[in-house]
Structure 1
Amino acid sequence: MARKLIIDTDPGVDDAFALALAALSSEVDLLGVTTVHGNVPLSATTINARRILALCKRADVPVAAGAARPLVHRRRKEAGEVHGADGLSGRSAALPEPSRPLDERDAVTLLADLLEAADEPVTIAPIGPLTNIAALLAAHPAAAAKIERIVIMGGALGHGNTTAAAEFNIWSDPEAAQRVLAGDDAPCVLVPMDLTYRCAVGAAWLDELDSSGPIGAALHALTPDYREHYRGALGWDGMVIHDAVAVAEAIRPGTLRTDRVPVQVECSFGPGRGATHADRRLPALRASTDAPDAASDVDVAVDTDLDALRALLLDGLR
């Protein structure tokens, strides 16, 4: 039986790949998509998500717009310099126009309604800032009983990408991330950029996607600005499709190897704001010291079979 899945997203090039991976998969029942502020403003993330679903011929999937800003403090920047001004290297308008209207419900209401109607547990894959998910768990606590796992792309165990300490999704709304990761509402899997960077794809992979058919070619056409950014970030011709790594785990549990450790998010206004602190000390050492009350156990993805993962992504997208 197909696994029930909801994606919360802020497309973004890697989000577009991740959403297409889920929309095309026969292994999941994609119940809905919710959008959030992030890589570009909410209006752009919402139309981008709807156009990607139209590309994949998934007019059956409802899309609802969510939070246009973080829970508490406004952000200082978005990521247009990475993804292009429209989030998709300036090529969003080249995608098919959606035939299904935007859902009249807000994202949190759609999430709550889909969970309430589900006859089995649902996986949620938030691949942008966690504002919508934090609001859901706060406003609809009973909904957590219907959540099988929350598979999150975000965080950094080493250095960040938006600041020296913080990864973009978590940095965009640290208070929301702390609410979700430390709330103990539902089991969380955190897929940090330390692992997603190792899963980067190169020119040959991208060329094969481009030649695979209309959908692969359309996805490939969204990558120029993003790929140019990663030529500098990686030092070679390739790019990191962070969110698709997390969605691969959401679709097929066990794709990534995880360690269960306490995690908390730095919500101060110092240089560490948005940092993800994972306590990877041995359990005996953790037990012998004072553990912070704000940390909860999270399954943190630390490894995978890189070749197998890249093959899974390519097969799923073509």
Structure 2
Amino acid sequence: MDKIKVILDVDPGHDDMVAILLAAKHPRLDLRGITVVAGNQTLDKTVQNALRICTHAGIDVPVYAGMSRPLLRDQVVSTVHGESGLDGVELGPPARQVEEQHAVDFIIEEARKCHKELVLIPVGPLTNIAMALLREPRIVEGIKEIVLMGGACGQGNITPSAEFNIFVDPEAAQIVFTSGLPVTMVGLDATNQAVVYPPVLERIRGIGSRVSKMVVDSMLAYGAAYKALGDWEGPVLHDPCAVAYVIDPSVLKVKKAWVDVETARGLTYGRTVCDYSETAGKPANAQVAVGIDHKKLWDLLIYALEQD
């Protein structure tokens, strides 16, 4: 079976770290490069975090710095991941440098090499992906699909209406959803179900590798932040859910929907409006994840971590 060519677009972030490990270590994927965007922290920090993760985990994949701010709005950063973006995780300095090529140029270049073979997996704000589509619309000819982590049909997590990644750059998200490309939205309706309960954490700890220890340390720090936010029994691994779906689509239950993004500056700014029943009279432009097969998700992640 041929490997799936993917670009992972990240803003590390504790759950981004696990997404990187899953994408780089699972044999089903051919990770062409890691592109980085501002989001969970400023671009200088998210790039350094990506480089540190790759160094610590022995991942030999090029890392590209991308957009340092949203297309139109002021920059927003998360408080969940701390001042560094990876608070509580000791990784040491990176042993490699970021590539000179801009992330947007890399995405365009890779898409040009492919013919409906490249899968983009953005798990942060969609600024890099939107900018690539704006600069070179013909890249749609090389992209098979976009599987993104972001959005919510129900309650948001940064405002009552909006999920963080979409809220950071709603205009970029609207460009992606209206691109005409196949889009799968892996949002909070599904990812909030991916709680790392203690038995899952113990399975990861039991691998006994340097990388599994990194994941455990990260989840403990991330979990403490989640408990401070409310009644959570463990951290939630949002971003790896999108990677897992590309590896095995049966991990998620999806429904077709028309999805649009609210870009008016107001109470619902950044909301993903999901219409499953053509109430708005518009055909579906996306698949929306609504459920998770927990056993498949954790088995898939454990298998990838055991490849270390």
User: TM-score range, shorter-chain basis?
Assistant: over 0.9
- Give 1:158's aligned residue: 154
Deviation at 1:228, TM superposition (A): 1.1
Query: In the alignment, which of 185, 193, 201 is matched to residue 190 of structure 1?
Result: 185
Deviation at 1:219, TM superposition (A): 1.8
Distance 1:49 1:37 in 2: 12
Mapping of residues 2-151 of structure 1, within 5 Å:
2-59=3-60, 61-75=61-75, 77-79=76-78, 81-91=79-89, 94-95=90-91, 97-118=93-114, 121-151=117-147
Change (3 A) 1:115 1:183: closer
Change (3 A) 1:223 1:303: closer
Unaligned runs of 5+ residues in structure 1 are none
Q: What is the CA deviation profile of residues 153-172 of structure 1, one whole-angstrom value per residue up to 9, with x for unaligned ones? A: 00011110000000000000
1:300 partnered with 2:288: yes
1:274 partnered with 2:270: yes
Mapping of residues 235-250 of structure 1, within 5 Å:
235-250=231-246
Structure 2 contact 14–222 (Cα < 8 Å) conserved = yes
Deviation at 1:248, TM superposition (A): 0.4
Distance 1:234 1:203 in 2: 17
Deviation at 1:97, TM superposition (A): 4.0
Distance 2:24 2:40 in 1: 21
Q: What is the CA deviation profile of residues 99-128 of structure 1, one whole-angstrom value per residue up to 9, with x for unaligned ones? A: 432110111001111222346611110000
Structure 1 counterpart of 2:27, which letter?
S
Mapping of residues 211-290 of structure 1, within 5 Å:
211-212=206-207, 213-233=209-229, 235-281=231-277, 283=278, 286=279, 290=281
1:170 partnered with 2:166: yes
Distance 1:104 1:90 in 2: 29
- Give 1:203's aligned residue: 198
Q: What is the CA deviation profile of residues 230-251 of structure 1, one whole-angstrom value per residue up to 9, with x for unaligned ones? A: 2244624311000001110122
Structure 1 contact 9–36 (Cα < 8 Å) conserved = yes
Identical-residue share of aligned pairs (%): 37
Once the two structures are overlaid, the 10-residue window that deviates more, 213-222 or 16-25, is: 213-222
Distance 2:145 2:198 in 1: 33
Structure 2 contact 195–233 (Cα < 8 Å) conserved = no
SS at match of 1:239: coil
Please give the root-mean-square deviation of Cα atoms over the aligned residues, in Å: 1.8
Structure 1 contact 84–225 (Cα < 8 Å) conserved = no
Structure 1 contact 125–152 (Cα < 8 Å) conserved = yes
Structure 1 contact 181–296 (Cα < 8 Å) conserved = no
Unaligned runs of 5+ residues in structure 2 are none
Per the normalisation by structure 2, the TM-score is 0.93
Query: In the alignment, which of 298, 305, 308 is matched to residue 317 of structure 1?
Result: 305
Structure 1 contact 263–279 (Cα < 8 Å) conserved = yes
Structure 1 contact 23–56 (Cα < 8 Å) conserved = no
Structure 2 counterpart of 1:210, which letter?
R
SS at match of 1:254: helix
Distance 1:304 1:162 in 2: 22
SS at match of 1:34: strand
